[in-house]
C-alpha cells in the first residue's frame, strides 16, 4: 500500500509519502490511519511552535 498527499489543499505546507509493502489486502486502510496520525502530530507541533514563536516575538 502507498499514499501520497499534501495539506492544506489551498496553500500546501507539508507533503506526506508513505510506502507500506507486503500488507495484506484487508489492511488497506492502514496507510490512511498512519497518515492521519502523522498529520495530527505535525499540526499539533506546528500550532504549539507558532504559539511559542508568537508569544516570544511579542515580548520584544
Share of the chain above pLDDT 70, in %: 80
Q: Is residue 23 part of a domain?
A: yes
Residue 53 confidence (pLDDT): 56
The residue to which cell 495539506 is assigned:
7
pLDDT at 25: 80
In the chain, how many domains are there?
1
For residues 22 and 25, give the distance between their C-alpha atoms in angstroms, rounded to a whole number: 9
If you average pLDDT over residues 7-28, what whole number do you get?
Answer: 87
Specify the 3-state DSSP secondary structure of 14: strand
Residue 47 falls inside a structural domain: yes
Domain with 46 in it: 2-52
Q: Which three cell numbers stand for residue 1?
A: 500500500
Q: In this predicted structure, what is the pLDDT of residue 34?
A: 92
* Domain presence at residue 58: no
Determine, yes or no, domain membership for 9: yes
CA distance 31 to 18: 7
Residue 19 lies in a domain: yes
Tell me, yes or no, whether 60 lies in a domain.
Answer: no
Residue 57 falls within a domain, yes or no? Answer: no
pTM over 0.85: no
Q: Which residues pair with 30 in a beta bridge?
A: none
pLDDT band at 36 (very low <50, low <70, confident <90, very high): very high
Amino acid at each position: 500500500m502507498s499514499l501520497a498527499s499534501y495539506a492544506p489543499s489551498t496553500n500546501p505546507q507539508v507533503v506526506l509519502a508513505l510506502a507500506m509493502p507486503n500488507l495484506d489486502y484487508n489492511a488497506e486502510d492502514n496507510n490512511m490511519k498512519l497518515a492521519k496520525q502523522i498529520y495530527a502530530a505535525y499540526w499539533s507541533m506546528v500550532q504549539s511552535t507558532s504559539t511559542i514563536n508568537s508569544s516570544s516575538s511579542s515580548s520584544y
